[in-house]
Amino acid sequence: SAHLLSVDNLSRDYVDHLFHVTRRMEPIAQRQKITRVLEGAVLGNLFFEASTRTRMSFHSAFSRLGGSVCDTTGFTFSSMAKGESLYDTSRVISGYVDAIVMRHPDLGSVAEFAAATHVPVINGGDGPGEHPSQALLDLYTINKEFERIGKALPGAHLLLTGDLKYGRTVHSLLKLLALYPPMQITLVSPPGLEMPFELIDRAENAGHRVQQRDTLQADYSDVDVVYATRIQKERFTQEMVEGFSLSSDFSVDRAFLDQRCSTHTIAMHPLPRDSRPGANDLNVDLNGDPRLAIFRQTDNGIPVRMAIFATLMGVEDTFDRNLRDVGW
Ligand code: CP
């Protein structure tokens, strides 16, 4: 089966094709048209770690293609709570469903699960590893935002900031950007939360100019996209939790965009952003600002995930043959 486990397995041709299918999915995602192309198909949506967007948007995307969804949320609601292995769970569930989306706290666990099944498996996040569907919707969003403002991806300047060590969305995004012509990529993280070296190396080998900095208090007026991430404290050791305090200098807020960036700079974040006191990954003072693209990102997640299902399940050439207008 074709799986979507890591950006490592994606080619530029596949991504271009996926985005073409995504465009054709948009009228369905926007509830202007209806298709039943996956009628009778069942998705297993297996989430062993908290999620709002990935879990619900994959569920919604599969339903909008006419399929139905079985889900299990958390270890306590599956027989893994009784000690069942990933292998047995995978063999059993692949007899019940036609595709699987899985999130799990352990690095490599989704690939281990996929090795035991004959249905397509999509990695919805494996611990600090990867989150390929998020990177695809992020890049789709960047392309759409650039189209709107008349900007090209080659030569663009992207600033990735926050927890670049544990943030799996930025790992997948940096790998995905390596498929594209040279850009400038600036990485800004608090000490100890830097992007893994091998991912920087790969981006540089792809021709990108990568710069690492430890502060947002600088001139970023030529930055086109600021991509902020949440500090992933749930992945810290106890020692790191006790020793860590984040200075407000790392806050992406209205003052940062106004004073350090330009009027065209787009602010993105995979979400969730942390709204608790002391957290400052992406300030709510940007709500309502047209530069804030976070809810355009979440909206784009539906057609991108519909296109992922259509390409993995082989219906990308047939889904729009019998589209009907929405009657409600
Ligand atoms: N962006 C993302 O993966 O969000 P959830 O954790 O809510 O799925």
**What is d(CA 169, CA 273) in angstroms, rounded to the nearest whole number?**
13
Report the pocket of ligand 1 as residue ranges, CB < 6 Å: 51-55, 125, 131, 134, 270-272
Instruction: State in Å: Cα 67 to ligand 1 middle.
Output: 22
Closest CA to ligand 1's atom 5: 51
Q: Residue range 277-287: average pLDDT? A: 86
More confident call, 274 vs 173: 173
Closest CA to 26 of 270, 293, 307, 294: 307
Instruction: State in Å: Cα 323 to ligand 1 middle.
Output: 30
Give the atom of ligand 1 at the shortest distance from the alpha carbon of 49: 6
Structure tokens at 125: 């996040």
Pocket mutation for ligand 1, best pick of 48, 54, 60 (most atoms within 8 Å of C-beta): 54
**What is d(CA 64, CA 182) in angstroms, rounded to the nearest whole number?**
37
What is residue 293's three-state secondary structure?
coil
At residue 1, the pLDDT reads 67
Closest CA to ligand 1's atom 6: 51
Hey, do 7-130+301-325 and 132-297 end up sharing a CATH topology, with the first three levels equal? yes
What are the angstrom distances between the C-alpha of 319 and each of 17, 35, 64, 250, 286? 15, 7, 11, 45, 38
Across the chain, what does the average pLDDT equal?
A: 94
Instruction: State in Å: Cα 270 to ligand 1 middle.
Output: 7
Q: Does the domain formed by 132-297 have CATH 3.30.70.100?
A: no
**Residues 251-271 pLDDT 10s:** 899 999 999 999 999 999 999
The residue ranges of every structural domain in the chain are: 7-130+301-325, 132-297
Give the atom of ligand 1 at the shortest distance from the alpha carbon of 271: 1
The H or E element spanning position 63 is: helix 53-64
Angle at 165 (CA atoms; ends 13, 206), nearest 5 degrees:
35
Give the atom of ligand 1 at the shortest distance from the alpha carbon of 270: 1
What is residue 88's three-state secondary structure?
helix
- pTM of the model as a whole: 0.96
Instruction: State in Å: Cα 300 to ligand 1 middle.
Output: 14
Question: How does residue 78 score in pLDDT terms, banded at 50, 70 and 90?
Answer: confident
Pocket mutation for ligand 1, best pick of 134, 163, 234 (most atoms within 8 Å of C-beta): 134
Question: How does residue 72 score in pLDDT terms, banded at 50, 70 and 90?
Answer: confident
More confident call, 150 vs 73: 150
Instruction: State in Å: Cα 146 to ligand 1 middle.
Output: 24
- Residue partners of 74: CB distance under 8 A and separation at least 6: 47, 48
Instruction: State in Å: Cα 169 to ligand 1 middle.
Output: 9
Instruction: State in Å: Cα 103 to ligand 1 middle.
Output: 10
Instruction: State in Å: Cα 131 to ligand 1 middle.
Output: 9
Lowest average pLDDT, out of 71-80, 208-217, 296-305, 306-315, goes to 71-80
**Residues 141-193 pLDDT 10s:** 999 999 999 999 999 999 999 999 999 999 999 999 999 999 999 999 998 89
- The CATH number assigned to the domain with range 7-130+301-325 reads 3.40.50.1370
* DSSP code string of 176-237: HHTTSS--EEEEE--TT-PPPHHHHHHHHHTT-EEEEES-S-S--TT-SEEEE----GGGS-
At residue 247, the pLDDT reads 65
Give the atom of ligand 1 at the shortest distance from the alpha carbon of 57: 8
Residue 169 phi/psi, 5-degree rounding, is -65, -40
